[in-house]
A = this chain, B = another copy of it.
Amino acid sequence: MALIVQKYGGTSVADAEKIKNVARRIIQTKEAGHQVVVVVSAMGDTTDDLIKLAQNITDKPAQRELDVLISTGEVVSSALVVMALQGMGHQAISLNGAQAGIQTDSAYSRARILRVESRRVVKELESGNIVIVAGFQGITKDMDITTLGRGGSDTTAVALAASLGAARCERYTDTEGIFTADPRIVPEAQRLDEISYDEMLELATYGSKVIHPRAVEIGELYSVPILVASSFNHKPGTLIHREVSMEIRNKVRSIAHDLDVAKITIVGVPDRPGIAASIFVPLAEAGISVDTIVQNASLENITDLTFTVARSQLQKAMAVTEPIAKKIGARECVSDAKLAKVSVVGTGMQNAPGYASTMFKTLSDKGINIELITTSEIRITCIIDETKVKDAVRALHHAFELDKKPSLK
């Protein structure tokens, strides 16, 4: 008997039939002899509907109250999944974030989990219950309700798995796992049987929407294996874990892409110490997450500074950047919202040359201009025009031979 934590996303619990389907899957795990803890998201569009309710009341709802409001979505799902399980003759109980002991800081709407006090969950498991936990939410030390922000329910699930010492965290959505590229763009993309935490982190950070990097980080920190699979079929999915087979490591694993990219260039910046701080500290204080930063080689102590942000933050970022640019004596600020990132990821790149040149040549052969380049030890990212993304992903997928099923398991 093992302890398994499962997580079902919003599309998996979108209506009564899907909730019953989820209940049947949970029961299969239970009947295989395991203890089961399940984390659920809000049904379908519930969270959006609740936000709309708030927007009808006021333009700028306080984050504390928005958290109180939207946390109800996951509570509703948790009770309904329990009802489905009970209706099928199984013993189950729902717990909200507070009851499940998900203790967070008080950064409303983007709270971080400080610890998981899983006593109640353990007690319910010991009583023979399947425990259904409302995801995406926690409680502060003052008993105020918080939500965890993007990737919240994934994070709840992996954190609970870590706290409970679960054998595995199984994360079910409408996708069948991690692929060598987005199958909607590359039909011959292959599902990966396994992937390392590091690779998954790079993929998730650079555009794969399948699992949030926060959840992967916790998984890595506490060595929780995470299975990513579909809730609509029984295909094996992808296991994210530490010990990926040695030979498979020696490869590019997957091509990620991200369309949510905008670029700001400050042209003609006087190149002196402190300039970067004078720009990026105010951006951080305004809550704008700056991604890639590139500074061109300085010519006569004048340089261009380019950075990328999410498109939704471009307007706000320009409003912060333009006055600063003026103040530091830069020539102008220009922006481009129609960009995208393509990244090749794989631990195999670490000690092997030639990957970067293959990537650049592949894009060049397709006539795709590279605007910016950034790299990590196991990733190379090129920022290109958004209209060229499909071509780029397909060409790279072919160039790195990802359309061939990996021969080793």
Contact = CB atoms under 8 A, between A and B. Distances in A.
Interface of A: 15-16, 19-20, 50, 53-54, 56-62, 64-66, 68-69, 72, 75-76, 78-80, 82-84, 86-87, 93-94, 96, 98-99, 120, 143-145
A16 B53 contact: yes
A20 B72 CA distance: 21
Nearest to A82: B65
- For the complex, would chain A's binding face be called helix, strand, loop or mixed by DSSP majority? helix
A65 B86 contact: yes
Contact of A75 (B57, B72, B80): B72
A61 B123 CA distance: 22
Given A19-B57, A68-B78, A72-B75, A83 B62 contact: yes
A129 B8 CA distance: 38
B75 A59 contact: no
Given A57-B16, A75-B72, A76-B72, A83 B65 contact: yes
Contacts of A62: 82-83, 86
A75 B79 CA distance: 15
Contacts of A84: 57-58
B54 A83 contact: yes
A143 B98 contact: yes
B69 A79 contact: yes
A135 to B, nearest CB: 15
Contacts of A59: 87
Nearest to A72: B72
B86 A68 contact: no
Contacts of A143: 98-99, 120
B79 A58 contact: no
